[in-house]
Amino acid sequence: MVNRNFRTLDLNLLKVFDQVMSERNLTRAASNLAMTQPAVSNALRRLRDALGDELVRRSGYGVEPTPKALALWPAIGDALRQIEASLAPGDFVAGTATNTFVLAMADATAAELMPGLVEIIEKDAPGVSIRVQPLTTRDPRRLLDEGQVDMAAGYFPAVLADLTAQAQAGGKAAFEHQRLYDGEYVCVMRKGHPLASGPFTLKRFCTAHHLLVSFSGRPYGFIDEALASLGQTRRVVATVNQFFTAGRVVSVSDLLTVLPRHFVNVTGMASELMVRDLPFDVPPVHVDSLWHIRQGQRSEGPSHRHRPCPAQRPGSRGALPWKGWNCAGVHPTDSAPVAAASARRSRSAGPRSVPSRISRCPGFTPLRSGRSSTRLASASWRRRRSCSSISKASRRWPRRCRRRS
């Protein structure tokens, strides 16, 4: 009989459930909780028995929740956030913080946001660092889910539509967003261009040659979608992944491009460019910030990514930049980030190879990589009679090898 008595339920299981639902990955959930993956799996098994539901199923690179888990998560997550806020109020102090935040955005968005952001940081948070990396997709959820960036800023219409649909269906999305500003796109060409004067009609726009800005490298964008709704197409002769590059190219050619209006003035090429309104209506462009909800669960805000130092190879034991801290700037007492960093280093290091003289032994074969593939065990190894070529000094065999039965 399923035990549904709340008084006998181990509430620690709810913390595990919340992390698994947030990460959709048992390994990352275990790292966040400073637990081992088998311990997380065992906690899920106990919670399954208590609730009478499978809760999550293995799928692809992680797990997928069941309908009941999706229904339970909002209430459980909110309750845990309230308890956490009551017992451990946020202690992030901007004046003394030394976090490094990784942001993903296009160059036009960075030109709009970074000057004011840097001014605020220098004034209120002098120890905080910002790293901006190029945004190469209109759907940055994978970057955020894998912890490669802390926040993405840009135009994400499909993502916001998906999150809105999840909210309307009563589910709780793993991402949150906030509107930053509204943008307007205009047609940009060099001064003296044949289309710089005279009526700028839809026909003249479509017959010209165009330069497309595409973060992903796709040969079409939202302008092409708007033209398709009107039964029109345009000739795209070149595609780049930065607005600044597009402005530079059209300033010395007869190509047209479409840029955010605010970006033209910050390129330093405004005197060489001509701006004209588009001869057709396009949907409004909203620039939003997007982040994973786990960032809001940490009392110190979105912590920086805990990657191995580039100067160190994954899994190496070289000296760290300064005593007491690892190369990502995480103190050893912060067990969860350190565990996460260790897990990432292990995954990036890959399985270690078996020594050649062992692999040549006919009596041993490597285990599947899923079982302790990144560790060499210190257990004693049994020597087979057929392995007479192995010296007495080689009595210790990797656990990744087993004897054929």
What whole-number percentage of the chain has pLDDT above 90?
A: 37
- pLDDT at residue 38, rounded to an integer: 93
- C-beta of residue 57 within 8 angstroms of C-beta of residue 64: yes
Q: What is the pLDDT of residues 67-82, one digit of tens each?
A: 999 888 878 887 887 8
State in words which class domain 185-283 has: alpha beta
Question: Cα dihedral sign for 325, 329, 333, 335?
Answer: negative
Intervals of CATH 1.10.10.10 along the chain: 6-87
Distances (CA, A) of 247 to 23, 256, 354: 40, 9, 54
The pLDDT of residue 85 = 74
Q: How many CB atoms lie within 10 A of CB 330?
A: 18
Q: Where are the beta strands (DSSP E) in 277-400?
A: 285-292, 364-366
CA atoms within a 13 Å half-sphere pointing along the CA-CB vector of 54: 8
Return residue ranges of the chain for CATH 3.40.190.10: 92-184+286-305, 185-283
pTM, full prediction = 0.54
Pick from 99, 82, 93, 85: which is nearest to 124 by CA? 93
Q: Residues in the chain, how many?
A: 405
CATH class of 92-184+286-305: alpha beta
Question: Do residues 178 and 150 touch, judged by C-beta distance below 8 A?
Answer: no
Which parts of the chain sit beneath pLDDT 70?
1-4, 88-92, 294, 296-405
Crossing angle of helices 335-349 and 26-33, rounded to 10° = 140
Give the pLDDT of residue 98.
86
What pLDDT, on the 0 to 100 scale, is given for residue 330? 35
pLDDT of residue 384: 41
The topology under which CATH files domain 6-87 is Arc Repressor Mutant, subunit A (1.10.10)
Looking up tokens 């191995």 gives 308
